[in-house]
Amino acid sequence: MEDAISPDAETLHQVLTSQFDKLHLPIEEMSGLVTDGAAVMTGKRNGLGARLKREHPNLLTVHCICPRLALACADATDELKPILNAHTWLTQLWKMFEYSSKKTSMFLKMQTNMRAVNLTTQPVRKKLAKRLKQACKTRWMSFDQAVKAAFDEIIAILHTLKKLEEKDAVASGLYKKMNTLLFSYQSGIFTSLFYLCCHL
């Protein structure tokens, strides 16, 4: 694709067939094409799948379940208040630490202190101290990763927010919202649901 003018269906078709030729793989033996559902892939007349099916009628084309699930989950967050709240709070939490190296250092120190490990090298510190993930609706795994990261480090997060709450309004608000049994319970449920859905 480096020399291509545009990543359109025709270009993708040419690149795919030429790569099959270079590898000496008979393209007529390809039995399926799984894509992310973009129009350039799944267009009924000129998409990559349609072009390949004209040449190989037995080819099966499938819209991958993971991006489909992501689209469904993204739409569902607008209707389900607990998920919408979790998304909002996780985004605020990520921004609070991402945009402040001082707060991030405090959070990482809290994690390592809670593990009661004497860290002597930077690689060990990086391995044991996790950073939070951004919850993003357009990236299908990001919400799952954000929930899991927060769930795994909820105690360190709460201790850090507690330490910051007197001087930081965002930290204070997040501490009050997240320091509840309901939030921990919902985080565990969300993690389990995403894990199950992504492994169907």
At residue 115, the pLDDT reads 72
CB under 8 Å to 173, separation ≥6 — which residues? Answer: none
Do residues 140 and 185 make contact, with C-beta atoms less than 8 angstroms apart?
Answer: no
Between vectors from CA 141 to CA 61 and to CA 188, what angle results, nearest 5°? 130
Give CA separation, 91 vs 5, 87, 143, in Å: 37, 6, 10
Q: Strand runs (DSSP E) across the chain, as ranges?
A: 32-35, 60-63
Q: 195 or 167: which carries more pLDDT confidence?
A: 167
For residues 97-108, average pLDDT: 90
Alpha carbon distance 187, 193 (integer Å): 10
Write the pLDDT tens digit of every residue in 27-80: 888 889 988 888 888 888 889 989 999 988 888 888 887 777 777 766 766 677
Q: 183 or 110: which carries more pLDDT confidence?
A: 110
Residue 18 has pLDDT above 70, yes or no: yes
Percent of the chain at pLDDT > 90 equals 12
For residues 164-177, average pLDDT: 91
Name the β-bridge partners of 32.
Answer: 60
Q: 190 or 3: which carries more pLDDT confidence?
A: 3
Alpha carbon distance 114, 159 (integer Å): 10
Q: 151 or 140: which carries more pLDDT confidence?
A: 151
Name the β-bridge partners of 140.
Answer: none
Alpha carbon distance 77, 82 (integer Å): 8
Model pTM above 0.85: no
Strands 32-35 and 60-63, by their bridges, are: parallel
Task: Round to the nearest angstrom and report the end-to-end CA distance of the chain.
Answer: 32
At residue 190, the pLDDT reads 55
